[in-house]
Amino acid sequence: MQTINRKMQWLFLLSGLLLSACNEMQQSKPAQKVTQKYTASTVLLTGKVQGTSEIVEAMDESQNVMISARVQEKGRYQLEIPAQTKLPLILRNDDFISVVVDTDITNYDINSLTTTIAARAKALGGYTRKNMVLAASDSVNTPDANKTSTGWRGDTTSQYGGWH
């Protein structure tokens, strides 16, 4: 009977050590460092806007307007962003926004969907590339079967009736 009690004591001692070690590992995660990004050179952003406002504004996260442009024919706009501009940029027209987190992409529409994506990314922790991608995938209706790296259900020739 005494050996069973000893075994139980050792079992409790080991399980306690394991639990405390796991707890320490979870608490010792370093804070994720966000690196500040800037535009490397002058960038021409273009796109189409939804709404009736005649102005598109580029702002920083503190809502300071950095540059603005008139909306042209058919709701198109162009904004020339200077080199060394701090990212992310918020593009605003009327009640809609779009967020620029990377200048590798230069076409940014501004509409209700881009506003929903921006709001979701902000709720996820801010306007980072990772949060914008997560927000975009949450905001559009893509069937689970279509979220594979090999294409729709593994056969890219059968999606939408064939190759496109």
92 lies in some domain: yes
CA–CA dist 28, 30 (Å, integer): 6
Using one digit for the tens of pLDDT, what is the confidence trace for 59-105?
A: 999 999 999 999 999 999 999 999 999 999 999 998 899 999 998 99
What is the number of structural domains in the chain?
1
User: Which amino acid appears at position 163 of this protein?
Assistant: W
Kindly report the CATH number assigned to the domain that includes residue 76: 2.60.40.10
122 lies in some domain: no
pLDDT score at 32: 47
30 lies in some domain: no
Q: Which residues of the chain have pLDDT under 70?
A: 1-34, 141-164
Is the entire prediction scored with pTM above 0.95? no
pLDDT score at 154: 55
User: Which amino acid appears at position 45 of this protein?
Assistant: L
148 lies in some domain: no
Domain that holds residue 67: 37-110
pLDDT score at 10: 60
141 lies in some domain: no
161 lies in some domain: no
Burial readout 35-44 (b: 16 or more C-beta within 10 A, e: otherwise) = eeeebeeebe
Residue given tokens 């690196």 in the structure block? 35
DSSP 64: -
11 lies in some domain: no
Sign (positive/negative) of CA torsion 16, 22, 26, 28?
A: positive
90 lies in some domain: yes
